Amino acid sequence: SRPILDMSYSRHFLDFQGSSIPSSMKKLVVTKLSQNFREAVTLQQDSSVPLPGDGDLLVRNRFVGINASDINYSAGRYDASVKPPFDIGFEGVGEVVALGLSASADYTVGQAVAYVKAGSFAEYTVVPAKQAVPLPSVKPEFLTLMVSGATAYLSLKELGNLSEGKKVLVTAAAGGTGQFAVQLAKKAKCHVIGTCSSDEKGGFLKSIGCDRTINYKTENVESVLRKDYPEGVDVVYESVGGKMFDLALNALAIKGRLIVIGFIAGYQNPTGLQPIKAELLPAKLLKKSASVQGFFLNHYLSDYKMALQHLLKMYERGDLVCEVDFGDMSPEGKFTGLESVFRAVDYMYMGKNIGKIVVELPHSVNSKL
C-alpha cells in the first residue's frame, strides 16, 4: 500500500486505485560514471512510481528522445557535484495521468504534454507544470522539436545572422538537429551545404531543401569546399568536432561564423574531446575577421518557450519536416521499451540514423486513458 491523498474532490485528479497506474515502474539510472553508456546505466525493474507535488504533473511517457549528450550526462561531464545513482534521459512526450492541485488550474488528466527535464528514461516522470508544453496529441514528431529543433532555431537566430544568399554549411546534416538547421537556413533563403555519411541520407537532405550534399565517405569534404566554394562559407552549424571542426574552420569566408553546438566525435573518448589544431585558431580568425561561438541550449531558456511555439506552428502548418528514426532498419528492429535505449544510443554513435532517434514506450491497453 502507498499513501495516496484522497483526490476525489476534483475531476482533474485521477484516482490511483481506479486507474492502471502501478506502484512500481521501470527506469534507467546512472549507477557508475562512464562515457560507455552500457557500463554507466542500469535498467531498474521495480522503482517506485513518483507522486506529483502540488505544482506537478505525473506524465506517463510514450516517446522518449535520444541525444548525443546522453553519454556526456552519464559520464558526469555536466555537473561534477552530482554523484550516482541519478536518473537519465532529457525529453519525453506522454499523457498526464495525475497532478497536484495548483497544476490542475492549467492541465487535466489525459492531456498530451512534452517536456525537457532529466529523468525521461522512465515509464513515469514527475514534471513541474511550469516546464511542461501542452500538445494537441501524443506524437513522436513533437519530440524532435524539444531539444533538437529548439537548438537549431535559437542558435541560428541568436548567432547565425542569416540572410538571403548566405552560404551555410551544416555538419551531420541528416541527424536529429541537423535536419532543422538545413530547413531553417533554407527558409532564410540561404544556400545550404550538408555533410552526411550515405547516399540515402543525401537523398533525405535533398528532399528537405539542401542545395549541395557531401557524402564524406565517398567525397573529400575539404576538396569539395575548396573547389565549389572558393570564397568560403558564411556560417557553419557544427556538431561533429575533431577533423570536421578543422575543415569547417578553414572553409570560413571573410567575417564567417562557426557555431559549435556539439562535438560528437569526441563524446565516447575518456576525456570527451578529440584533438583539433587549435593553436592556429587566433591567426585563422584574425585573417578572416571570423568568429567561433559555442551554443548550449540551457543558456537560452528565457527564449525557449517562444522558440518552441514558433516551431510547433511551423510543423502544424506543414512548413517543417520532423523526421523520426525508430530504428526500424537497425539489426534488431524498432526501438521499443526502455531496454532498447541502449541499442538506440549505439545506433546513433554508429551514425546510422536519419532524423531524430526516438524510443517508443508501449503501455498496456487496460488503462482508462
- As beta bridge partners, residue 113 has 94, 134
Can you give the pLDDT at residue 10? Answer: 44
Q: What is the pLDDT along the chain (369 residues), one digit of tens a residue?
A: 444 444 444 444 444 444 578 889 999 999 999 999 999 999 999 999 998 888 999 999 999 999 999 999 999 998 889 899 999 999 999 999 988 888 988 999 889 999 999 999 999 999 999 999 999 999 999 999 999 999 999 999 999 999 999 999 999 999 999 999 999 999 999 999 999 999 999 999 999 999 999 999 999 999 999 999 999 999 999 999 999 999 999 999 999 999 999 999 999 998 888 888 878 999 999 999 999 999 999 999 999 999 999 999 999 999 999 999 999 999 999 999 999 999 999 999 999 999 999 999 997 644 444
Same domain for 65 and 115 = yes
Rounded Cα distance between 300 and 293, Å, is 14
158 and 225, same structural domain?
A: yes
Distance CA 214, CA 297 (A): 27
- Check whether residue 153 and residue 266 sit in a common domain: yes
Please provide residue 262's backbone torsions phi and psi, each rounded to the nearest 5 degrees: 170, 175
Pair 276, 220 in one domain: yes
- Strand ranges inside 171-250, DSSP E: 191-196, 212-215, 233-238
Q: Is residue 233 part of a domain?
A: yes
pLDDT value of position 278: 78
Which DSSP state fits 175? B
CATH of the domain at 60: 3.90.180.10
Residues 175/181/184/189 CA torsion (nearest 10 deg): -120
* Residue finishing a domain among 267, 299, 331: 299
Give the per-residue pLDDT at 365: 46
Whether 353 is covered by a domain: the verdict is yes
Give the max Cα distance, the chain: 71
Same domain, 45 and 129: yes
Q: What is the DSSP string of 52-97?
A: P-TTEEEEEEEEEE--TTHHHHHTT-S-TT--SSEE---EEEEEEE
What is the DSSP secondary-structure string of 106-135?
A: T--TT-EEEEE-S--SBSEEEEEGGG-EE-
Give yes or no: residues 270 and 330 share one domain: no
Q: What domain range includes position 106?
A: 14-138+323-360
In a domain, 237, yes or no: yes
Residue 311: inside a domain = no
Same domain, 279 and 243: yes
Number of domains in the chain: 2
Give the span between the Cα atoms of 63 and 52, in whole angstroms.
Answer: 20
pLDDT at 19: 57
The pLDDT of residue 364 is 60
CATH number of the domain at 225, please: 3.40.50.720
